[in-house]
Each structure stands twice: as structure tokens, then as C-alpha cells.
Amino acid sequence: MVTLRGGQAWRLGLPILLAVTGLAMITAPVPPSAGAPASPQPAAAPAVRVVHRIDVEGVIAPATARYVLRAIRQAEEAHAEALLIRLDTPGGLVQSMDDITKSMLNAAVPIIVYVAPEGARAASAGVFITYAAHVAAMAPATRIGAAHPVSIGGGQGEGEGQQQDKTLLEKVTNDAVGNIRGIARRRGRNADWAERAVRQSVVATAEEALGLHVIDLIAKDVDNLLRAIHGRTVTMVDGPRRLATAGARIERVDQDVTEQFLRLLADPNIGFILLNIGIIGILAELYNPGLILPGVVGGIALILGLASFAIVEVNAAGLLLIGLAVVMFIADIKVPGQGVLTFGGVISFIFGAILLTSRQAPFLRISLQLILGVAAVLAAFFLFAVGAGMRAQRAAVRSGTEGLMGATGVARTALEPEGMVYVQGEMWTARADSGTIGEGSRVQVVGLEGLRLRVRPVE
């Protein structure tokens, strides 16, 4: 066993100690010094900002309200930067408008209403929707206004009825004024002009609306609009929020099948066509029992037509006149009166169709051209049916025993005076009216005795 003395151990251990220390310094991680910059770390990619967009065009109806409310909900769930509503409407139903504005005022996502494209308008209900937006903008050559209530339902009475209609219209107008002034104060917009838009139906161009502080800005397109409002602060339900819309990606939210179907039903012209398809289909089934298809199609079309008119609140007097027209059409077929009842039915139908939506705004009325066209088709249909019935009454009987009178046939055996004849595809026992008739001779039926024919020879 070899033992090292102290000096030898020191001389041998020092180099080993230095080697181990150097190796540790090489392999150990070196912390950054205070003066030296830290190594750059990969930065997280910034989140892409998204703006949802919908296009609201045409009449404001239940389908529109469902579409807007769904878009607001989806934008909130997706934490979108904003919801952009491109608006072009002549107005619509008060209930649908109220549903939209209420949802906009309580939305958790900023809502931008943009009246566009050029030539578009935000009339009637469109004024309320524009005022309810967090940011209101218009494209050049657009207009806003004319928000006076038009439709109040009911009939066209005289005297006391007209006074009641006037009182009701005044109540509706005052309610609309209170509503839009409250929205204007909430959004910091011109409440006095909004009241004049409701009471006096005033209209403003985009430039005038900007000067009157009705809208916030004018933008020629969506990209310019999003750049212009970038950095703007809007007041939300939970406090102020700063918009970051420049360069945001736009996602379209389209109407679903249900909303498209409801929008179609909200058109009074479509409802009018469905109503008449239903009338014709049911009458066809009544006159031809067992066809089934006309009855099924007519029943569905009639229900959809009535549902469409329930949406736009039609005049009951118009429906009664159309019902009277149908009664006249049926009566003229059952008791032919040379077309007089059909003519009266056509007149009743035309006046009923005109009265049906007479109290509505022009964009919610049935087209006069459509009314006249459908009336002409109905008149032609029922006149044809009446004519066919009258021709059938004048025509000779061609079936049964009465149909044998005057029919011709061939003697299959000699008639001396009785034998067999072939008439209308059948063999009959026959008796010669006078004399005898030879086999193969042509004969004509001149009488009937029970199941035996009386015949005479035909030259």
C-alpha cells in the first residue's frame, strides 16, 4: 500500500481540482449579466380581431328581429370586437322594431349601424334602429327619417270610428316619440330631430344627419368605416369600451332557412298568392273528391296565407269581401246565372284585396297589378267552370238506359220480329218496330220495353 505525504498530495490534487472546476464552468448554464441583454424569446402571436357583419334589407318583420337577435348573441359568444349591421329599410312592424332596439340597448358587444350602400335609406323603424346603435354611420347619398306611424289596424269607419282611429294614432305617435327620445338620450344623439322625424316625418341626407348630430360619421365603404372608428370609446352596459376595428377580419352572418322562410311570409304579396292557391285547391278538391293532392296543397297554402296576413295585421273587411267573392263563385257553378254571380264575385274580390292592406304603409300593401292579375285568372277559371256546367246540362244523355235512345247498332240475328242486336258494345234482345229486319242490317233504337229494345232499320 502506497501512502502520499502532504506535499505530494497537494502537488497531485491541485491539477485535478483545476480540471474539475474548469469542466463545471464550461457545462454550467451562464446567467445573463445585468449589463448584457437577455436572449430574445419567441413572442405570442396577437389574437386576430373579428367583426361580425349582417345585412338587414327590406321590411322590418319578425324574421328580421330573429336574425338580428341571433347575430347579437353569436357576436357576444364569439367575443367579437363589434357587430356591424348594414341597413337599408323602408320601415316595418313596431313590435319587431322594439325587439331589435331592446336587444341592441342591452347588448354586450358594440353595435355599429351603417346605412348603405349609396341610395339606401333608414326610414320609419330604421330610424329607431340607427339611433340605438353604439356607432351610427351612413354612406354618401343615403337618407334617414320619415318615422311617423302609419298602420294602426282596424277598419275604415265613419264618425265615431274615425275619431277613435285618430285618438289611437295619437297615442301610438306619443309612445313612439317617448321611445326614440329615450334612445337618443342613451346614445347622446339629437332627440329633438328624432321627435320631428316621428311627428312630422322629416328626412335628412347623410351630410345633414352628420351636421344635426343624428349620426357619428360618413364612410364610403365598410373598410373606411372600421378604420375611422378605430380607437373610439363607446359606452356599454358594463362601462366604456375602446374599439379596435382597424384591420379586423369581417365574418358574415347570413340568415338561416327559418329566417328566410319567415321573411318570405312577411311579404303581403306572397301571402295573397298563397291565399288564392288555397282557395282554388280546396274548391278543386270539393268538386273532385278523392284527388287528395289539391286539397292538401290548398289547405297548407290557405293556412300559410292567413299566417302571412296575421303578421301584417290586415283589414277584416277585406277578408270578408274575398270570402263573399268565393261564395259567389261557388253559387254560379251550382246555380248557373249566365256568369252574373261570377262577375259580382270578381268585383267583390278586387275591392276586398285592395282593402286588405289599405291601412298599411305603401311597402306593406298588396300590388294592384297582382290583384288585377289574380282576379282575371279567377274569373277565367270560374267562367270556364260555369260554361262547362251549362254545356253539360244541354248535352244529350250518353249513359244509362236513356243513353240508348237513338243509338245505332247491327242485327246479329234476323228479327222476325224479335232477335238479337249489338248496340253500344253489348248484345241486347230487340223487337222490330215494324215488319222484319234481316241479319247484318243496321238498326236504330227507337224505344225501350224493360230490358228489350225496339228498333227500326236504318237505310
Which of 124, 116, 140, 145 is CA-nearest to residue 53?
A: 116
Q: Which of 171, 220, 334, 367 is catalytic?
A: 171
Say how far apart CA 119 and CA 324 lie, in whole Å. 43
CA-to-CA dists, residue 229 to 136, 223, 226, 233, 254, angstroms: 10, 10, 5, 9, 24
Say how far apart CA 425 and CA 427 lie, in whole Å. 7
Say how far apart CA 206 and CA 221 lie, in whole Å. 14
Sign, CA dihedral 236-241-242-243, equals negative
Count how many Cα atoms sit within 13 Å of the Cα of residue 50 in the half-sphere of its side chain.
13
Q: Which residues pair with 431 in a beta bridge?
A: 418, 454
Say how far apart CA 212 and CA 127 lie, in whole Å. 14
Please state the φ and ψ torsions of residue 70, each to the nearest 5 degrees.
Answer: -65, -40
Asked whether 318 and 357 are in contact (CB, 8 A), the reply is yes
Q: Which of 96, 103, 124, 348 is catalytic?
A: 124
Cα-Cα end-to-end distance for the chain = 162
Q: Which residues pair with 172 in a beta bridge?
A: none
Query: CB count, 10 Å around CB of 285?
Result: 19
The yes-or-no answer on residue 171 being catalytic is yes
- What are the residue numbers of the active site? 124, 171
